[in-house]
């Protein structure tokens, strides 16, 4: 499980997902760790309508990373290094 994020959130969980999106598209938000309109737009370009990163969006991002040749284990390592593992 990964921490869910939505527009208006901030912190390590947001930055970790922004970095996942960066690895896919080169995305560079104006403020790392701030889930603003730019992050929402980038997320929607990757996963369709919605303004949050939950289980479905996270799975889609992992799938896209797989296409780019980055393993799920690598993504988990990135997320775990940022202490963004959900405690559910």
Contact call for residues 56 and 43 (beta carbons, < 8 A):
no
22 vs 78: CA distance, rounded Å: 12
Q: How far is CA 55 from the centre of its chain?
A: 11
The predicted model scores a pTM of: 0.75
Confidence of residue 41 (pLDDT cuts 50, 70, 90): very high
Q: Which comes out higher in pLDDT, residue 22 or 82?
A: 22
Range 8-13, long-range pairs (CB < 8 A, 24+ positions): 8/35, 9/35, 10/34, 10/35, 12/82, 12/83, 12/84, 13/82, 13/84
Q: What is the pLDDT of residue 47?
A: 86
Contact call for residues 60 and 53 (beta carbons, < 8 A):
no
């Amino acid at each position: 499980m990964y921490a869910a994020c939505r527009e208006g959130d901030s912190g390590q969980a947001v930055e970790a997902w922004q970095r996942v999106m960066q690895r896919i598209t080169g995305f560079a938000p104006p403020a790392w760790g701030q889930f603003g309109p730019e992050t929402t737009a980038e997320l929607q370009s990757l996963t369709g309508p919605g303004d949050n990163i939950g289980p479905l969006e996270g799975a889609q991002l992992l799938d896209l990373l797989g296409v780019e040749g980055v393993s799920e284990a690598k993504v988990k390592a990135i997320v775990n290094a940022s202490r963004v593992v959900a405690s559910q």
